[in-house]
Amino acid sequence: MGFREVGVVEVREVLRAWLEGHGLRRVAERAGVDRKTARRYVAAAEAAGLSRDADVEAVTDELVGLVVEAVRPARPNGHGASWAALLEREEQITAWVKGGNGHDPLSVVKIEELLARSGCVVPYRTLHRFAVERCGFRPKATTVRVADGEPGVECQLDFAQMGYLLDPETGKRRKVHALIFTAVVSRHMFVWLTHAQTLTTVIAGCEAAWSFFGGCFKVLIPDNLKPVVTNADAVNPQLSVGWLDYAQHCGFGTDPARIRSPQDKPRVERVVQYVRGNFWAGETFADLADAQARAEAWCRERAGTRIHGTTARRPAEMFTELEAQCLLPVPEPYDVPTFTRVTVHRDYHVEVARALYSLPEQFLGSHLEARADSALVKLYSTRGAGAGRLVKTHPRQPPGGRSTDRADLPEHKAGYALRDLTRLIAVCTGHGENIGIYAERLLDDPLPWTRMRSVYRLLGLVRRYGPDPVETACSRSLDLDVVSVSKIASMLEKATEREQPVLPATAGSPGGRFARDPSEYSGRATNPGSVPLTLIPGGAGASITADKEPTR
């Protein structure tokens, strides 16, 4: 069986109460021991010569020592019979604890069962202590208390799961996490509730924390949150680009804790259970906003005003006195950006958040880093010595939008890509005045961009035949009011652009097929010597006859 160490103070208290005349039940209650234990103390004292009618001063240190020796069982080296029985099987227990020879290490519960089968029945607590002290079972490393440091410098962060909350929008229960901020010196805390563990929610929690504390701490000690730490190296941890950008905005440094090392942030680790049990447990919240409002009130009124077990002071008062004036100023509101790796495609554009942004020809096919906030999209190089250099900035476009800088496109493609009619006409005018006028006539349409191909064909004729022949052909066509690129092409192909056009014959000319003399259309008789008409009577069968004109 196990034994409890005999306390000198409780032995003295039992004997004092007994000498005052109290019964064993009352004596046991005063000393906080069992009645049987009190009886054993009294019996040992009487055996040592103590009388009931003696004075309290008779309870000397020598008497108490005799009582302790009498009631304490013989335990060599401070251990009892169970420990001695385990010493005989120490080698076997060590083999079970460490495993080997194709066997896995065994738990203390299983070792207790195996010992019982062999006839060695010992208390579990004794076996556990024996396995730890003698057999190498989960040895506990020593630890030291780390100094708090300077006020207002360090703040420790940790995510903790609180439970589930009904989402009014979806009607489903969603998991709720708490991002807990704890000031290292004062232990003043802030709790930010969220459904997700993304960079956006972490930054939103930080922004709310700086408003709550009235400033920003100089160093943050977070757990290995995936939105913050991308490579959790113990010496050189790699932080995410988004978190570094936010840290630069606020001016604080980051010192992440090591993997599975809660001792690196003990101040915030100690309050996780406190937040879960004192704030969240047993409460009913309407939604996440209601829970957050009550969490902030709880941090101020309950957690901030309690007497802390370590500092023996109220965290809120200690924070105001020591740390509030040491914080960095509250940073300006942060426009949370998104960071993506993009590729410059053959159309001289990259896609960021479903919108297109142009880049110069020299970056075709290369990979860039894109930073997009609500106002701007910045593109950074990732190649060679120029890695990290800003190469282009565009105004942020909505999904489906496009921002194209004309200087990024080749000169011969810029006008077509941007539908720049003014630029297209200017190019045509540069080859000849009439070519420019002809281009304007071609584009004179309610939907001018639908006629751009005709202008490009006209420019193609300039490249093929030269500007002078095309200038002459356009001049002739404008004189005749013929606006057709096909006609211009036909003239250039037949080399007829310099020939005088053949105009149609005028009316009355000899060569006209249907030409007539103007006198033929006059109202006067052209033959005054004609014989008058004679009416021959005959009723209904009457006829009109005329004398024939004499033969000339």
Beta bridge partners of 157: 181
Is residue 205 within 8 A of residue 216, CB to CB? The reply is: no
**DSSP state at residue 216:** B
How far from the centroid of its chain's Cα atoms is residue 102's Cα? 47
Map tokens 């069992």 to a residue.
34
Question: How far is it, in rounded angstroms, from Cα 419 to Cα 442?
Answer: 15
What's the confidence (pLDDT) of residue 201?
93
Beta bridge partners of 377: 372, 394
What's the confidence (pLDDT) of residue 548?
46
Question: How far is it, in rounded angstroms, from Cα 381 to Cα 359?
Answer: 11
Buried/exposed 18-55: b ≥16 CB within 10 Å, e otherwise: bbeebebeebbebbebeeebbebbbebbeeeebeeeee
Domain ranges of the chain: 8-73, 81-134, 154-326, 338-408, 419-494
Kind and range of the H or E run holding 292: helix 288-298
Kindly give the confidence (pLDDT) of every residue in the chain, 552 residues in length, as a single tens digit, with 9 standing for 90 and above: 444 555 788 888 888 888 888 888 888 888 888 888 889 888 988 888 888 888 888 888 888 888 887 877 655 566 778 888 999 999 999 999 888 777 788 989 999 999 999 999 999 999 999 999 888 887 777 777 888 889 999 999 999 999 999 888 888 999 999 999 999 999 999 999 999 999 999 999 999 999 999 999 999 999 888 889 988 888 888 998 889 999 999 999 999 998 888 888 999 998 999 999 999 999 999 999 999 999 999 999 999 999 998 999 999 999 999 999 999 999 999 998 988 899 999 888 999 999 999 999 888 889 999 999 999 999 998 877 667 789 999 999 999 999 988 788 876 666 556 666 787 788 888 888 888 888 888 888 787 767 778 888 888 888 888 888 888 888 878 877 888 888 888 888 888 767 665 555 555 555 555 556 666 666 655 555 544 544 444 444 444 444 444 443
Per CATH, is 154-326 categorized as 3.10.450.50?
no
**Residue-by-residue DSSP string for 395-460:** E---TT-EE--GGGS-HHHHHHHHT-HHHHHHHHHHH-HHHHHHHHHHT-SSSGGGGHHHHHHHHH
pTM: 0.60
- Cβ partners under 8 Å of residue 388, min gap 6: 380, 381, 382
- Cβ partners under 8 Å of residue 518, min gap 6: 508
* Rg of the chain in Å (alpha carbons): 52
Q: How far is CA 32 from CA 10, 29, 45, 67, in A?
A: 8, 5, 18, 17
